[in-house]
């Protein structure tokens, strides 16, 4: 009788194990990081025209040691804002001179998944800029999430 009871208990254990063993932890597969997408334009004959900027380096203001783009030719830039601050600046270094673009924004912590945890999304409030090579800036989409790949800011060069 005791033997049977033990057998029954063992069966319970095995069944419980089999029911739960499939719930293994998955690794986070998406690189969930929100980027602001800045597309580059020039105005030609009163029309905006996408443009590639040659020999440009971009880094965060105060982070000269960590270049996001290094002497590159690009027609857009993907830039990460900081969840720890409400404003960050980026330096557009053209070689002999530079521009600075600053973002004022709010951070929203967004729960992605158990595996990936939280990501930071942003609502852009204002964009400020210097006018050395930049003519003007237009804020197109204020909301930055990890899912969207669309244009947030248009930068018109002189």
Partner 1 sequence: MNKNMLRYFLSSILILATTFIYAQDNIEKTKGIRFGFDVSPLVVRLFEPERSGLGVSIDFEFKTDYFGVIEGGLLNYGLEQKNFNYQSSGYYGLFGLDYNLLKAEKSVDNNILFAGFRYGISSFQQNIDNIVINNYWGTYNAELGQQQITGSWFELLGGIKAEVFFAKNFFIGWTLRAKTLLSGTKNETMQPIYIPGYGKTDKKFRFGISWFVAYKIPFKQK
Residues at the interface with partner 1 (CB under 8 A): 1, 4-5, 8, 11-13, 15-23, 33, 60, 63, 66, 68, 79-85, 88, 109-111, 114-120
CB 99 within 8 A of CB 129: yes
- Please identify, using beta-carbon distances, which residue of 51 and 63 lies nearer to partner 1: 63
Nearest approach in angstroms of CB 13 to partner 1 is: 7
Query: What's the Cα-to-Cα distance from 3 to each of 6, 7, 8, 10, 11, rounded to whole Å?
Result: 5, 6, 9, 11, 12
Nearest approach in angstroms of CB 66 to partner 1 is: 7
- Please identify, using beta-carbon distances, which residue of 23 and 96 lies nearer to partner 1: 23
Nearest approach in angstroms of CB 8 to partner 1 is: 6
Nearest approach in angstroms of CB 46 to partner 1 is: 36
- Please identify, using beta-carbon distances, which residue of 89 and 142 lies nearer to partner 1: 89
CB 28 within 8 A of CB 116: yes
Query: What's the Cα-to-Cα distance from 31 to each of 80, 84, 113, 134, rounded to whole Å?
Result: 13, 19, 12, 31
Collapsing DSSP to helix, strand or coil, 12 comes out as helix
DSSP 90: E
- Please identify, using beta-carbon distances, which residue of 36 and 53 lies nearer to partner 1: 36
């Amino acid at each position: 009788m005791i033997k049977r009871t033990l057998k029954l208990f063992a069966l319970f254990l095995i069944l419980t194990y089999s029911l739960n063993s499939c719930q293994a932890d998955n690794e986070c597969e998406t690189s969930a990081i929100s980027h602001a997408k800045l597309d580059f334009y020039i105005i030609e004959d009163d029309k905006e025209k996408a443009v590639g900027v040659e020999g440009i380096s971009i880094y965060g203001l105060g982070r000269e040691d960590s270049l996001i783009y290094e002497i590159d030719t690009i027609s857009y830039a993907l830039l990460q804002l900081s969840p720890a601050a409400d404003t960050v600046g980026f330096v557009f270094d053209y070689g002999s001179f530079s521009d600075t673009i600053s973002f004022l924004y709010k951070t929203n912590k967004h729960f992605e998944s158990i595996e990936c945890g939280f990501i930071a999304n942003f609502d852009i409030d204002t964009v400020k800029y210097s006018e050395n090579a930049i003519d003007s800036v237009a804020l197109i989409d204020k909301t930055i999430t990890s899912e969207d790949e669309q244009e947030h800011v248009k930068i018109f060069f002189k």
